[in-house]
Homo-oligomer: A and B are copies of this chain.
């Protein structure tokens, strides 16, 4: 009988019990997160810049992924009290601590995709 516990759905808590790798991968592995992180690694960007820089992303998904990464403390959302409104996104300290890993992943990917 392969059913050790009651919570069978995938969530961060489940994963945490297993190992940090899963936590890391669910944190950066979202559908559009690589694309976003890739851009933000090069410096802060405003919402419309991100949207225009990432091909095919819908605003719905862009916002969802940004919110998740904000919640996870990877990025900062900075709202300027201006008209028209301006919002910028920027890596946090925690987000920047991922830089070398993101670079490694990117390099590995470039070398290994045929």
**Which residue in B14, B18, B34 is a CB contact (below 8 Å) of A25?**
B34
| Complex contact A22–B109 (CB within 8 A) | yes
Partner of A101, one of B10, B105, B113: B105
Contact B2 A19 (CB under 8 A): no
Q: How many residues of A contact B (CB 8 A)?
A: 47
Interface residues of A (CB under 8 A from B): 2-5, 8, 10, 12, 14-16, 18-25, 27-29, 31, 34-35, 37-38, 51, 55-58, 94, 97-98, 100-102, 104-113
Smallest Cβ-Cβ distance to A33: which chain B residue? B25
Q: Which residues of B contact A16 (CB under 8 A)?
A: 113
Find out whether the CB atom of B112 lies under 8 angstroms from the CB atom of A94: yes
